[in-house]
C-alpha cells in the first residue's frame, strides 16, 4: 500500500498547494490513501467544514487536527458528525469528534488513522501513550487492518520519538506534526514501523512557522503584542512523508520525505 501524509496546512497558500497538487501526486505516486493535517488551514487558526469539504473533493481521504482544532467554533457540529476529520484521541471523554478513523478504498484495503496530542509544553490532556494503546487493542496490523498511521501532535521531539519506539512493529507509520519544520530523520525503525519526527508544514516558509515575519519577530524582540499574527501569503511548499507498506504484514518497506514548490529544496520520495 502507498500512503502520503501531508503536514500542517497553514492558511490559503497552504490550502492552494495541497488541493492544486493532489491529483498529480495521487497519480504520480500511485497512492492508495492521502492524509492531511489541516488544523491551521483557516487563516492559520483551526479549520472549517467548508475547508474540509474542499480537501475531500481534491482527493484527501482523512484529515487530522491538533491543539488548534477548536479555534473556529463552527467546526464543532461538523466534526461531531464527520468521522473523516480526526481530533486528538486523548481529549477528555465526551469531547465532540473521534480520535480514530478507519476507511477503505476501491481495492478493499483498510487504513486506520489515529492521532494523539503530546503533553510536554502542551495542554495537559490524558496520557497519549495509554490512548494509543487503547486504540490498537482490538486491531492487528496485517490482519484486521492493512495500514495504520499514528500522528503524534506534539512540541517535544523526545515525546514523539518515545511513542515511535513504543508503537514500533504495531503500526505502519508514526509521524509527528505541530512544529511546522520538517525533520531529516525519516527512517524505518527496527520493528518495521516508518517514522519521522515532524513532517513539516504545507505553507510559505518565508515566514515564522507559516506566519508573517514582522509580527512574529516583534513578539520575540519586544515581548509585547506586535499586531495580529497573519499567515504568510507567498508561494507554499507542500511537505509530506510517503510510506509504502508490505501487503502481507502492513509494515513499512519504504519511507521518504516529499517537498514540492515554494522556497525549500525539492525532494521526491521515489528519487
Residue 212: count other Cβ atoms within 10 Å of its Cβ: 21
Map residue 161 onto helix, strand or coil. helix
Report the distance separating Cα 163 and Cα 106, nearest Å.
31
Which strand (E) or helix (H) includes residue 37? Answer: strand 33-37
> Which amino acids are annotated catalytic?
68
Eight-state DSSP code of residue 76 = H
Of 192, 242, 265, the closest CA to residue 30 belongs to 242
Residue 209 has phi, psi (to 5 degrees) of: 45, 45
Map residue 9 onto helix, strand or coil. strand
Computed on alpha carbons and rounded to an integer, the radius of gyration of the chain in Å comes to 17
Angle of helix 49-58 versus helix 11-28 axis, rounded to 10:
20
> Which class for 94: exposed (0-12), middle (13-18), buried (19 or more C-beta within 10 A)?
exposed
Cell 498511521 -> residue: 149
Q: Are β-strands 33-37 and 238-245 bridged in parallel, bridged antiparallel, or unpaired?
A: unpaired
CB of 227 closer than 8 Å to CB of 215: yes
Residue 266 CA, chain-centre distance (Å), reads: 19
Residue 133: count other Cβ atoms within 10 Å of its Cβ: 13
Amino acid at each position: 500500500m502507498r500512503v502520503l501524509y501531508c503536514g500542517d496546512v497553514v492558511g490559503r497558500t497552504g490550502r492552494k498547494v495541497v488541493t492544486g497538487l493532489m491529483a498529480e501526486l495521487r497519480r504520480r505516486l500511485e497512492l492508495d490513501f492521502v492524509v492531511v493535517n489541516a488544523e491551521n488551514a483557516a487563516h492559520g487558526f483551526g479549520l472549517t467544514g467548508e475547508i474540509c469539504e474542499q480537501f475531500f473533493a481534491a482527493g484527501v481521504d482523512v484529515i487530522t487536527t491538533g491543539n488548534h482544532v477548536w479555534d473556529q467554533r463552527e467546526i464543532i457540529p461538523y466534526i461531531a458528525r464527520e468521522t473523516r476529520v480526526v481530533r486528538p484521541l486523548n481529549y477528555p471523554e465526551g469531547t465532540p469528534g473521534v480520535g480514530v478513523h478507519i476507511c477503505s478504498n476501491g481495492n478493499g484495503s483498510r487504513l486506520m488513522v489515529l492521532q494523539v496530542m503530546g503533553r510536554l509544553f502542551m495542554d495537559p490532556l490524558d496520557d497519549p501513550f495509554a490512548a494509543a494503546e487503547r486504540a490498537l487493542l482490538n486491531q492487528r496490523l496485517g490482519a484486521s487492518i492493512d495500514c495504520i498511521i499514528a500522528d503524534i501532535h506534539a512540541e517535544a521531539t523526545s515525546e514523539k520519538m518515545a511513542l515511535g519506539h513504543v508503537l514500533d512493529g504495531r503500526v505502519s507509520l508514526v509521524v509527528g506534526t505541530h512544529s511546522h519544520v520538517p525533520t531529516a530523520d525519516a527512517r524505518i525503525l527496527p520493528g518495521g514501523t516508518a517514522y519521522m519526527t515532524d513532517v513539516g508544514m504545507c505553507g510559505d516558509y518565508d515566514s515564522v512557522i507559516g506566519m508573517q515575519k514582522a509580527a512574529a519577530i516583534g513578539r520575540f524582540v519586544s515581548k509585547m503584542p506586535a499586531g495580529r499574527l497573519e499567515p504568510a501569503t507567498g508561494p507554499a511548499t507542500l511537505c509530506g512523508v510517503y510510506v509504502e507498506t508490505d501487503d502481507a504484514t502492513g509494515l513499512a518497506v519504504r519511507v521518504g520525505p516529499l517537498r514540492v514548490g515554494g522556497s525549500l529544496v525539492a525532494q521526491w520520495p521515489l528519487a
